[in-house]
Chains A and B, each alone.
Chain A
Amino acid sequence: QVQLQESGPGLVKPSGTLSLTCTVSGGSVTRGSYYWSWIRQPPGKGLEWIGYIYYSGTTNYNRSLKTRVTISVDTSKNQFSLRLSSVTAADTAVYYCARNYNGFDFWGQGTLVTVSS
C-alpha cells in the first residue's frame, strides 16, 4: 500500500518561500505511469491543483501559480518537493501531496501552512 507523508514548516513569513517535501513509501516515484502532484485547500474552501512532476523531471504547473512554483523530485530519497515563492496570506492552506494514476488515488494526510508575520 502506497503511503505519502508531507513535511515542512507550518509557518512562513509573507514574501518568503514555502518549502514542503513529500516522502513516498510502499512504492517508487520512479515507476512509470505515475505523476506526483501537489494540491492545496485554503481553510473552508475547495481544492486547487498546484502542479505535478514525473520521475523523469517533467513538470506542469497551474497557470495561476506558474511564476512562483517549483516542483522537484529526489529519486534517491523517494521524495518530491514543492517550493512556492513570494507567499502572501492567500497562500495559507492545507497542502496535500498525491499520486496521480487513475485519478488522484493516494493522498498524504495534509499539512497546514500558515503565512503570517
Chain B
Amino acid sequence: QSALTQPASVSGSPGQSITISCTGTISDVGGYNYVSWYQQRPGKAPKLMIYDVTNRPSGVSFRFSGSKSGNTASLTISGLQAEDEADYFCSSHTSSSSWVFGGGTKVTVL
C-alpha cells in the first residue's frame, strides 16, 4: 500500500485560507468516505481534526473543514492563525481493510 500524496509544505499569512491536498487511488481515498486529517505539533501525538471526509470532532475549530473529489481529499484551514502552524497528515481506509497515511504537510504561518 503506497502512502497518500501530500504537498511537503503549504504557507499562508494570518487570516488567509489554505488548502492541503491528499491524493490516493480508487482503492483508498476514491473508494471510501473514510478520510481523516491529523494535526501534529513537534514532540506531540497527532490530534484528530477531521474524520469521514467532512466531520469535525467536538472541540475542533470550525475553521477546519474537509472535502473530497474523486481520488483527492482536501483540508482547508480558514482564518489562518499562528497556532495552526504544525504538520498535517491525511489517512484513508483501504480496499484491504487497512489504513494508509499521507507523507505529511508542514504548514507555516508567515
- Residues of chain A touching chain B, judged by Cβ–Cβ distance below 8 Å, are 37, 39, 46-49, 51-52, 60-64, 96, 100, 102-105, 107-110
A48 to chain B, nearest CB (A): 7
26 A–B contacts, CB within 8 A, in A order:
A39-B101, A46-B3, A47-B38, A47-B89, A47-B104, A49-B101, A51-B98, A61-B98, A62-B1, A62-B98, A96-B45, A102-B36, A102-B48, A102-B51, A103-B36, A103-B38, A103-B50, A103-B51, A104-B36, A104-B46, A104-B48, A105-B48, A105-B51, A108-B45, A109-B45, A110-B45
Distance of A47 Cα from B98 Cα, bound (Å): 14
B97 an interface residue at 8 Å Cβ cutoff? yes
B85 / chain A contacts, CB cutoff of 8 Å: none
Q: Per-position contact with A for B70-82: 1 when CB-CB < 8 Å, else 0?
A: 0000000000000
Q: How far is the CB of A33 from chain B (nearest CB, A)?
A: 14
> CB distance B1 to A48 under 8 Å?
no
Which chain B residues border A100 with CB–CB below 8 Å? 99
Q: Counting CB contacts under 8 A, is B52 at the interface?
A: yes
Shortest distance from the beta carbon of B108 to any chain A beta carbon, whole Å: 17
Q: Distance in Å from the Cβ of A56 to the closest Cβ of chain B?
A: 15
Within 8 Å CB of B97, what residues of A?
A: 60
The reply to whether B99 and A46 contact each other, CB–CB distance below 8 Å, is: no
- Chain A residues, CB < 8 A from B50: 103
Partner of B52, one of A48, A102, A107: A102
Closest to A97 in B: B45
Proximity bits, B44-84, A CB within 8 Å = 1, else 0: 01111011100101000000000000000000000000000
**Distance (whole angstroms) from the CB of A21 to the closest CB of chain B:** 17
